[in-house]
Amino acid sequence: MAHLVKLEDYVSRYQYDMYRYPSQFSRLKRERWARLKREWEASYLVENPSVEYFVEQQKKSIRNAFSKLKHFYKRKNQTEDFYNDFKEHQYQFKYKSLPELKMNFLRELFEFQLNWASSTLVEKSLLKKSYLRDETLKWFLQSLPDNYFVFYYPVVTYPKAAVQFDILIVGPTEIWCIVNLEGRENSIFQTYSERYWLELNGDDERKIINPLLSLNRMSTILNKILEVTEIRFKVKKAVLTREGYIDATTSSWGRTTFLDQRNINEWQQKLKNNSTPIKSTQLRFSQKLLDLCQTTSEPRSELEQDFAEENYENL
């Protein structure tokens, strides 16, 4: 699962220590899944477990929850609703099959990633609810391995102007600049002019901004950053639609990969098969880019900080 390093202009844990959090997230994810799988096997491989056993497990989870609440009541005289990274009791005997357990684990792991990409121990950004339903973001994170970093529509200031990028995938040996075309299922995207493309779906036709404009802007800025920092990376460009087709030519825009229903799985598999571990140059470039990204956040309350610190290692 790829790392969600930066989301728009939200505060991110990665921006404060890019060298620490990738390995920490991967470790927490492995440990959490191993523990859940053991608990699932222990509960469902036992033939006809007793009702008392189920009840006792639920009571145990409730006692743990109340214990945490009492801990905070002693320290503060106020209560708030908190975003808890993972709710332990939700997994207890709820899923009948291992695929069901894994599907729910991935869903909540996605929420955990959104939390890390929008808050730290002392700061938080207001997360748009729509990101919880963002299938494109989820697809990128869950279809790529741990050695890839995702920057999702970051706002980059370089040299003095703020520019909102589209999607960046920073791998061990290359950087992908990607524009995702949102359209109707089975739409055909065609080149139309230097300024516009067309989306065709049956008898319907609409103009969209030429995605190559954004790709060219992103790649130009990235190459300048790489040159200044003396970091060597291949910068690649792609236009992507997961549910449609692209009928386009690049002409003078240079080499661009077009990813649609016909070849997107092949591209995804190629990245998944890249077993190169995370490199120091990859971390260094990502940290540099994070330093150039805008961040909009507000301080956490003291009670929220206490809660975040208590649950910092809980996944």
Mean pLDDT calculated for residue range 238-242: 96
Mean pLDDT calculated for residue range 38-42: 86
pLDDT digits (tens, 9 = 90+) for 262-277: 999 999 999 999 999 9
Give me the pLDDT at residue 47, please.
Answer: 46
The average confidence (pLDDT) of the chain is: 85
Residues 25 and 116: beta-carbon distance below 8 Å: yes
For residue 248, give the H/E element and its range.
none
What distance lies between CA 207 and its chain's CA centroid? 29
Decide if 26 is inside a domain.
Answer: yes
Percentage of the chain modeled with pLDDT above 70: 77
pLDDT tier for residue 279 given thresholds of 50, 70 and 90: very high
What residue has token string 């990128």?
140
Domain membership of residue 288 as a residue range: 3-79+88-310
Q: Three-class SS of residue 238?
A: strand
Decide if 8 is inside a domain.
Answer: yes
Using the predicted structure, report yes or no on whether residue 80 has a pLDDT greater than 50.
no
Give me the pLDDT at residue 78, please.
Answer: 39
What distance lies between CA 250 and its chain's CA centroid? 29
CA dihedral sign, ordered 211, 214, 217, 223: negative
Using the predicted structure, report yes or no on whether residue 155 has a pLDDT greater than 60.
yes
CB atoms closer than 10 angstroms to residue 117: 26
Q: Three-class SS of residue 119?
A: strand
Which of 30-44, 100-114, 282-296 ranks highest by mean pLDDT?
282-296
* Cα–Cα distance, 20 to 13 (Å, whole number): 10
Q: Three-class SS of residue 239?
A: strand
What distance lies between CA 242 and its chain's CA centroid? 17
* Cα–Cα distance, 49 to 288 (Å, whole number): 54
Q: Which is it for strands 155-157 and 188-191: parallel, antiparallel or unpaired?
A: unpaired
Using the predicted structure, report yes or no on whether residue 66 has a pLDDT greater than 90.
no
**Which range, of 90-99, 146-155, 246-255, 273-282, averages the lowest pLDDT?**
90-99
Give me the pLDDT at residue 230, please.
Answer: 94
Residues 151 and 167: beta-carbon distance below 8 Å: yes
The residue that leads in pLDDT, 123 or 64, is 123
Kindly report the pTM of this predicted structure.
0.83
- β-sheet bridge partners, residue 207: 198
Contacts of 148 (CB under 8 A, 6+ apart): 2, 3, 169, 170, 171, 271
pLDDT tier for residue 44 given thresholds of 50, 70 and 90: low
Decide if 43 is inside a domain.
Answer: yes
Decide if 221 is inside a domain.
Answer: yes
Q: Three-class SS of residue 293?
A: strand
Query: Could you give the number of structural domains in the chain?
Result: 1
Q: DSSP letter for 277, please.
A: P
Decide if 315 is inside a domain.
Answer: no
Decide if 287 is inside a domain.
Answer: yes
pLDDT digits (tens, 9 = 90+) for 192-213: 988 999 999 999 999 999 999 9
Residues 7 and 136: beta-carbon distance below 8 Å: no
Using the predicted structure, report yes or no on whether residue 56 has a pLDDT greater than 80.
no
Give me the pLDDT at residue 117, please.
Answer: 97
Decide if 255 is inside a domain.
Answer: yes
CB atoms closer than 10 angstroms to residue 175: 24
pLDDT tier for residue 95 given thresholds of 50, 70 and 90: low
From residue 308, how far is each of 8, 23, 102, 315 by CA, in Å? 22, 20, 25, 12
Give me the pLDDT at residue 300, please.
Answer: 83
Give me the pLDDT at residue 215, please.
Answer: 96
Decide if 147 is inside a domain.
Answer: yes
Using the predicted structure, report yes or no on whether residue 48 has a pLDDT greater than 60.
no
